[in-house]
Structure 1
Amino acid sequence: MTGLLDGRIAIVTGAGRGIGRAHALELARHGAKVVVNDFGVSLAGEGTGESPAEQVVAEIVAAGGEAVANAADVADFAAAEALVRQAVETYGGLDILVNNAGFVRDRMLVNTSEEEWDAVIRVHLKGHFATLRHAGAYWRAESKAGRQRDARVVNTSSGAGLQGSIGQGTYSAAKAGIAGLTLVAAAEMARYGVTVNAIAPVAKTRMTEGAFDTSAMALPEDNSPVVAWLASEDARDITGRVIEIDGPKMTVENGWAHGPSADAGARWVAGDVGPALRKLLAEAPEPEPVYGA
């Protein structure tokens, strides 16, 4: 235990395996008390009957830390509220929310079913919203009661959401939505003492092994030290940022920003749009290529 997060109380979603498990272990190693959430589903989001959260709790306790398990579906609004309540009732509060839960159902757009679209958007985007909404309500109430907490949220986006990824249209849309949600939440929740950032992790996990050549990819735990620092009190001046982590390389993502512009002075005439827009595009930087293109 290093003490970076001593006394701080954390929820990590999707923490039974992969990157989430690594986050839970890392936060506990630095002194946080952790609610380890995992719904126990397969890569495609189907029930398996396993209890991976209990296994991670056992690892944390064996190492001298404190942790409890939670098997909630984070995209279930009431279950997400109960997850936040469990942290508060078990440990007396909540300081850190790490949103990580998700799965993939990769398809080219023309082969994607409505059910696949809804399932992926639900667990990633609604799963982030539901926990963030209930944690945010708790932090707002604490602030209004004169007990403002130095709270942290670390969401999980992806390079697929920031640059796009062939065959992952649904996943990319969900992860792009998470990046946008992070910006809004950071602006809205600053008054309650809450910072909200996101990471775009690169790692060899169940989700990547079927989609890419993962032989040279970083390990899940390579992302977790960045999360641990972002969850610390020292990070109180960092908010509204998306940070890509690829092994030893850490990159601040710029996201959408206003580029070159032209003002016609009045409503555009359709025939004038082409030349003006082509001139602007010639002045703007080329977008990064979509993964797999």
Structure 2
Amino acid sequence: MRMAAIGAFQYFNDLPKELRMLIWEYHFESARIHVVHPAPESQNRNPKREALLFNCTVLDSATNLIILDGRPPSSLINREAHAVALSRKRVWTPVRFGKDLAESVTSGRARVPIHFTLVASSTMTLPEHNETCTQAPPVYVDWDSDMLYLCVSHAEQAFWSMRSVPWRDRVRKLAVLVPQSEFDRAIPFGPTDPIREVLEFMTELEELYIVLVPDAAYVAAATIPSLSRDTFGFVPYVEYLSAAGLASNHILYTRTAMSFGEAINGMHRKIILRRVVDVDYRACGFGYYRRTPSPPVVVNGDRFS
């Protein structure tokens, strides 16, 4: 439920206190998805020779709605809301994703794997209008609950940057889009050893999602709402295959998941690997990310969105 809709719902205060408390808890506990994607200024950049600029779109995981204000949810609504917010004890950290990822590449701290064809970091350049990432206001992340989602067509550059960004040891839930390869035999992210090296620097990582964005033609629009979603709106890959009537796996996606799986198996700590599909992804202009909003929640005949 969006708190912005409370003003339109005139009978909220008439609800039983127990129900109001559940709604407040739902509001203040809702996890966020921090979707990192290329900024519009990167459209004509060559990701093999130039550092991309990234933007971050923040989604409410329960509704798929974009959160325009990247700050923590305000508790200054009324005493009831304030008490619930304090009881949640969430810790919010300000992060400038675009600035940190770009600086990780150009500073030379992010060692580039041999298979990745970027030129030496000392010769890489930022786009001329780099104030987009340096002056963008921070978004606030609760690393215990929120997810970082690298939804980038050239996801390798953002992934390798994770080796040296200042918040690398805070990420607990990471989703990585499997990009389309320019070469049939090329596996995104390459061999397992460089992948393992990046993951080793992410010392608090607990869950790793390997994400496929499907061709819209594979799943009928009427089928999509019936698919089960996890906490962050993803559909399990096996369920997607069944719903789409696909008898075989996506070879590129499967090989990439295997590379990450092998990298995790060689580590000394447990990371849960999940293969999922972002079926709610909506095609939009370059440098933007959108999802189809989740269906509204119905409580005793009242619809909440």
Superposition TM-score tier, normalisation by shorter sequence: 0.3 to 0.5
TM-score in terms of structure 1 length: 0.36
Higher relative contact order (CA 8 A, sep 6+): 2
Q: Between Structure 1 and Structure 2, which shows a larger proportion of helix residues?
A: 1
